[in-house]
């Protein structure tokens, strides 16, 4: 009898040890290569730092966290295959990542089909949590509407009577950013404020040269480059070589540290853009957790973190928080824990809004500093002067505006 009891006790102990030894897997679906490689790398570094911290804190519900990564190459079809593989073959409990909005939207649908949450890490198209939004998609950064509203207020004040010219990437992110920026700058009249689209993701240098030649022939005072990643880098270099910066205010609606760093401080000086977060913000505003993140990231990787790194880092910590408040990794319970949840992590208060799963947060308009100020930083990265901020509740679409968008695209008026 004693032997039997001992064997049962040993068996129970082994089961317990096995449970403890099992890891909780998270899937990071991001571009390791291609036009958005730099933004992808920042996501990976931010995510790994967060996982390291979470494991030092005891994991999630006592389970060690493991990050499983896949390369999207900014290809929506590949992102769908990656998401299916991560969930079906590796049993990840949630997936996050993406730079292209088309990638995030496609991967999010694949995650929903498998009853997993997808967190958009760098996706700005209104559609992500708008017309294409669903119960399993949560977006951590702001959307095009929010950034355009903040930018529009600043530009209307500083360049109220200006003529605009738009150079826009021809896909969902570009379309919605241009549409939103036109709305909030009063430049919806395309005859007075013309523009041109450039191919995505296959644009050549000659495409940007042709677009900027047209801009140069216009009477524009403001040049809006609705481009991202390497596309923006190539276009702004051409614009600078043409001397357009001397006669036009250059605006990059969504700017990241990586993009600024790729171009360099000389060419980027004076450019205006928007960002959900920049590394100097918590330092200047005294957000302690944000300051700690900046220090930990800078010390570990010998560079400053971008908004892409901050987004991936925040998602891991927010997923841990939601799971532990729910007491389970079951997707429906985690969704309920996220909906309506308010928190402060790297900046001021943010909210996972219940009706659309948009992260409502403050939006910051930035102006790129002169070269000597940029280089004065220990990591030569003090690019951003925050010149205007808009509270999240003021920047985000209202329920009525969101429902109107859903109605126009034939979508249900609640997330399905």
Residue finishing a domain among 339, 361, 383? 361
Domain residue limits at 204: 145-278+363-395
* pTM score over 0.85: yes
Flag whether 351 is in a domain. Answer: yes
Residue 413 lies inside a defined structural domain of this protein: no
Kindly indicate the confidence band of residue 6, based on its pLDDT and cuts at 50, 70 and 90. very low
Q: What is the mean pLDDT of residues 280-289?
A: 97
Domain with residue 183: its CATH number is 3.40.50.2300
The whole-angstrom distance between residue 307's C-alpha and the CA centroid of its chain comes to 7
* Strand residue runs (E) in 94-240: 94-97, 117-120, 137-139, 164-169, 195-198, 222-226
Residues 195 and 208 in one domain: yes
Question: Is the four-CA dihedral 240, 242, 243, 245 of positive or negative sign?
Answer: negative
What is the rounded average pLDDT for all residues in the chain? Answer: 94
Please indicate, yes or no, whether residues 40 and 98 belong to a single structural domain of this protein.
Answer: yes
In the prediction, which pLDDT does 392 show?
98
Q: Is the pLDDT of residue 2 over 60?
A: no
| Cα separation, 187 vs 195, whole angstroms | 11
For tokens 């449970």, name the residue. 19
Asked if residues 370 and 265 have their Cβ atoms less than 8 Å apart, the reply is yes
Tell me: the pLDDT tens digits for 345-366?
Answer: 999 999 999 999 999 999 999 9
* Long-range contacts formed by 237-243: CB under 8 A, 24+ apart: 237/263, 237/267, 238/205, 238/208, 238/209, 238/212, 239/212, 239/215, 240/267, 242/212, 242/216
Distance CA 56, CA 178 (A): 43
Same structural domain, 26 and 97: yes
CB 235 within 8 A of CB 212: yes
For 386, residues 6+ apart whose C-beta sits below 8 A from its C-beta are: 278, 280, 281, 284, 364, 365, 366
Residues 229 and 357 in one domain: no
Q: Per the structure, how many domains does the chain have?
A: 2
401 domain residue, yes or no: no
Which pLDDT tens digit goes with each residue over 16-28? 333 344 899 999 9
Task: Render pLDDT for 36-73 as a digit per residue (tens, 0 to 9).
Answer: 999 999 999 999 999 999 999 999 999 999 999 999 99
Domain-embedded: residue 387: yes
CA distance 165 to 177: 14
Range 374-384 average pLDDT: 98
Q: 167 and 132, same structural domain?
A: no
Residue 31 in contact with residue 39, Cβ under 8 Å?
yes
Let me know if residue 406 belongs to a domain: no
Residue 386 has pLDDT above 90, yes or no: yes
pLDDT, tens digit (0-9, with 9 covering 90-100), for 323-334: 999 999 999 999
Give the C-alpha separation, 310 to 326, whole Å: 24
* 222 in the same domain as 173: yes
The verdict on 129 and 232 lying in the same domain is no
* pLDDT tens digits along 226-257: 999 999 999 999 999 999 999 999 999 999 99
């Amino acid at each position: 009898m004693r032997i039997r009891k001992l064997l049962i006790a040993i068996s129970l102990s082994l089961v317990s040890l096995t449970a403890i030894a099992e890891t909780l897997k998270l899937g990071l679906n991001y571009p390791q290569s291609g036009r958005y490689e730099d933004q992808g790398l920042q996501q990976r570094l931010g995510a790994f730092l967060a996982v390291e911290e979470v494991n030092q804190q005891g994991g999630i519900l006592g389970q060690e966290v493991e990050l499983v990564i896949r390369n999207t190459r900014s290809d929506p079809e590949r992102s769908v295959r990656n998401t299916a593989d991560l969930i079906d073959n590796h049993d990840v409990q949630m997936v996050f990542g993406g730079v292209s909005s088309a990638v995030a939207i496609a991967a999010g649908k694949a995650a929903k089909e498998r009853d997993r949450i997808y967190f958009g890490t760098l996706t700005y198209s209104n559609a992500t949590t708008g017309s294409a939004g669903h119960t399993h998609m949560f977006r951590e950064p702001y959307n095009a509407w929010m950034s355009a509203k903040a930018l529009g207020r600043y530009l209307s004040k500083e360049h109220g009577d200006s003529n605009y010219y738009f150079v826009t990437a021809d896909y969902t992110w570009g379309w919605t950013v241009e549409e939103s920026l036109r709305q909030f700058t009063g430049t919806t009249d395309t005859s007075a404020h013309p523009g041109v689209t450039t191919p995505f993701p296959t644009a050549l240098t000659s495409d940007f040269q042709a677009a900027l030649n047209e801009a140069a022939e216009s009477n524009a005072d403001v040049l809006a480059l609705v481009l991202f990643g390497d596309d923006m880098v190539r276009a702004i270099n051409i614009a600078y070589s043409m001397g357009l910066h001397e006669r036009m205010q250059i605006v990059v609606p969504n700017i990241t540290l990586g993009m600024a760093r790729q171009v360099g401080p000389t060419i980027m000086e004076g450019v205006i853009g928007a960002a959900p977060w920049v590394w100097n913000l918590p330092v200047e505003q005294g957000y302690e957790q944000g300051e700690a993140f900046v220090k930990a990231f800078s010390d570990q990787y010998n560079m400053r973190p971008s908004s892409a790194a901050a987004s991936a880092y925040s998602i891991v910590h927010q997923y841990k928080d939601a799971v532990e408040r729910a007491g389970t990794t079951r997707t429906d319970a985690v969704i309920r824990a996220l909906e309506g949840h308010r928190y402060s992590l790297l900046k001021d208060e943010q909210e996972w809004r219940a009706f659309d799963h948009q992260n409502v947060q403050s939006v910051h308009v930035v102006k790129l500093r002169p070269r000597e100020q940029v280089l004065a930083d220990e990591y030569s990265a003090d690019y951003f002067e925050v010149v205007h901020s808009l509270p999240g509740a003021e920047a985000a679409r209202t329920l009525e505006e969101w429902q109107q968008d859903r109605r126009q695209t034939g979508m249900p008026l609640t997330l399905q």
